[in-house]
Amino acid sequence: MRSIGTRLAAWYALAATVTLACLFVVGYQLLQSYLIHGLDLLNAAEFEQIRARLGPDYKTLTSEVINQRIRETTEYASVLFYIDIHSEQHGTVFYSSNLQGRAIPDIPGKHTYDAAIAGVGELRVAEFVLPPFDVTIATSASQVRKVMEGYIEVCSALLAAMLVVSVIIGFGLSRLALKPVRLIRETANRIRSDNLSERIPVGQVRDEISELARLLNQMFDRLEYSFNQIRRFTAEASHELKTPLSLVRLQAEKLLVAGDLSAAHEDAVQMQLEELARLNRIIEELLFLSRAEARVITLDLKPLDPERFLHGFAQDARVLAEHHGRQFVLTREGEGTVAFEDKRVRQVLLNLLANAVDASPRDGVITLRSSLAAGLWRVSVEDQGPGVPGEQRERIFERFVRLDNRGGDDKGSGLGLAICRSIIELHHGRIWAESGADGRGLRVVFEIPATQIAVDTTKGPAEKTRPAPELA
């Protein structure tokens, strides 16, 4: 049982059932003792009735008179009692006819005890002394046994009912007791890098749960502060690097324009310019990610027709794929409009297409699928490359993550898919990776709600949409 609620319910049901079972066992012993004591009192009452019937002068009576008086007294109760009166001098004075010639067992040293007679059944026996006679009176204990068997049946039914009821109550109590824990889990799950300001509600009652919530809130405070410091450093460092990089690029271009360099030096300067351009692109990407995570980018959302948008994109995508010796296929399903910024989504598709081109073998097929249904616009880009292991598919959307088994060149910055995720999340959508058809290749899928409001898409100060960095 992996759920704490299930374990709590099971423990509660077990504790309640075992407690009730213990009470039933104790009740069984008490009830049995009470009923047997009742039989002892019944035997004692019968003895007192016999002694009263014999009178104070019973010692002077003959055996025949004693037998007659006792029989007159016990005849009406012959079904209840089994009586044997004897003495050493006179032998057996009275013997109940319902014993049918059988003797009542005698246990030396005990005055009350249980016995059993074949053909008669279980008996509760009591021995009394009426000098010079020994009086043995027994009564049937079968009714006690039947009562106890009925008690066991009732207790078994109650235990079964108790188990069912306690399980139901246990689940209810566990859900009620764990409600703060579920609230903590849901809130903590919502707190991500793009939502670090939310905190777990803390109740007025000071208990272990509230203390845990306070500790988690303190941890989130430290995380938010650390994230803000990292974002601030990334934004400031990226901004500060742009100016010196521009100066270095200008100086390198001046050297090329002057024409005073040898061929080897000219190639070296040309390589420097390429690397400077790549470094400048990385800086632009970092700045974009910082603004996206800080929610200071306002998208220009407009209701557009995905079919017309993809038709225009497919023309460029087919040219790019064929240039690298790959095939491009587009399939579309569904009609309608979706509120999105075409420039941003185009960048996402171009990045996914570029990754698919690099991963696919020559003459491989890259498939772009689009479907609009159930209020969602779903787009996927699938290649026929080596694919990505399942445990790595979430990591590829992190910053600076590049996998060696995907093939292609190694000129990317490792920020492309992270930017794709930021753009899709700005559209209130989601993006993920999965294996391609028949387990081959990689399929990257994103979904965007088909209907959404094109305003108030940020949390915090907004800035106008500016050209996003060229994705690598």
Count CA atoms within 13 Å of residue 115 on its CB side.
24
CA pair distance 458, 452, nearest whole angstrom: 13
Give the residue-averaged pLDDT of 129-135: 88
User: What tokens does 127 get?
Assistant: 């021995």
Residue 224, pLDDT above cutoff 90: no
pLDDT value, residue 36: 94
Percentage with pLDDT > 70 across the chain: 90
Please check whether residue 196 is in contact with residue 216, taking contact to mean a CB–CB distance below 8 angstroms. no
pLDDT value, residue 38: 94
At residue 360 the predicted structure's pLDDT band, cuts being 50, 70 and 90, is: very high
CA pair distance 29, 48, nearest whole angstrom: 28
- Ordered structural domains, the chain, with CATH: 4-148 (3.30.450), 208-293 (1.10.287.130), 302-449 (3.30.565.10)
Q: What is the DSSP letter of 297?
A: B
Quick check: helix, strand or coil at residue 388? Answer: coil
Helices 342-359 & 416-426, crossing angle to 10 degrees? 150
Give the residue-averaged pLDDT of 300-320: 93
pLDDT value, residue 465: 42
Percentage with pLDDT > 90 across the chain: 38
Pairing of strands 327-333, 365-373: parallel
User: What's at 128, amino acid-wise?
Assistant: F
pLDDT value, residue 407: 55
Pairing of strands 81-87, 91-95: antiparallel
At residue 367 the predicted structure's pLDDT band, cuts being 50, 70 and 90, is: very high
User: What tokens does 249 get?
Assistant: 């690029």
CA pair distance 58, 55, nearest whole angstrom: 6
pLDDT value, residue 97: 80
Q: What is the largest CA-CA distance in the chain?
A: 159
CA pair distance 386, 440, nearest whole angstrom: 7
Question: What Cα–Cα distance (Å) separates residue 140 from each residue in 189, 261, 299?
Answer: 72, 127, 95
Quick check: helix, strand or coil at residue 386? Answer: coil
Which position has the higher pLDDT, 307 or 287?
Answer: 307
pLDDT value, residue 472: 34
Give the residue-averaged pLDDT of 208-213: 84
For 151-190, write each residue's pLDDT tens digit. Answer: 999 999 999 999 999 999 998 988 888 888 888 888 888 8
User: What tokens does 423 get?
Assistant: 């753009």
The residues, any chain, with a CB within 8 Å of residue 351's CB and separated by 6 or more, are 416, 417, 419, 420, 471, 472
Pairing of strands 81-87, 442-449: unpaired
Please check whether residue 436 is in contact with residue 384, taking contact to mean a CB–CB distance below 8 angstroms. yes
CA pair distance 110, 126, nearest whole angstrom: 9
Phi, psi of 256 (to 5 degrees): -70, -40
Least trusted range by pLDDT, from 56-60, 71-75, 281-285: 71-75
pLDDT value, residue 417: 92
Residue 266, pLDDT above cutoff 90: no
Burial of 342 from C-beta contacts in 10 A (0-12 / 13-18 / 19+):
middle
At residue 456 the predicted structure's pLDDT band, cuts being 50, 70 and 90, is: very low
User: What tokens does 319 get?
Assistant: 């040219």
CA pair distance 288, 468, nearest whole angstrom: 7
Residue 405, pLDDT above cutoff 60: no
At residue 468 the predicted structure's pLDDT band, cuts being 50, 70 and 90, is: very low
Which position has the higher pLDDT, 412 or 208?
Answer: 208
Q: What is the DSSP letter of 470?
A: P
Q: What is the DSSP letter of 140?
A: E
Q: Could you give the residue ranges of the DSSP H alpha helices within 203-323?
A: 208-258, 263-293, 306-323
Burial of 289 from C-beta contacts in 10 A (0-12 / 13-18 / 19+):
buried
Question: What Cα–Cα distance (Å) separates residue 341 from each residue in 309, 310, 448?
Answer: 11, 13, 11
Computed over every residue of the chain, the mean pLDDT equals 84
Burial of 108 from C-beta contacts in 10 A (0-12 / 13-18 / 19+):
exposed
At residue 236 the predicted structure's pLDDT band, cuts being 50, 70 and 90, is: confident
Residue 399, pLDDT above cutoff 50: yes
Please check whether residue 422 is in contact with residue 289, taking contact to mean a CB–CB distance below 8 angstroms. yes
User: What tokens does 368 get?
Assistant: 């772009």
CA pair distance 469, 472, nearest whole angstrom: 9
Burial of 321 from C-beta contacts in 10 A (0-12 / 13-18 / 19+):
buried
Count CA atoms within 13 Å of residue 131 on its CB side.
0
Helices 4-54 & 142-177, crossing angle to 10 degrees? 160
> Computed over its alpha carbons, how large is the radius of gyration of the chain?
47
Pairing of strands 365-373, 376-382: antiparallel
Give the residue-averaged pLDDT of 295-312: 88
The residues, any chain, with a CB within 8 Å of residue 217's CB and separated by 6 or more, are 199, 200, 202
Residue 464, pLDDT above cutoff 50: no
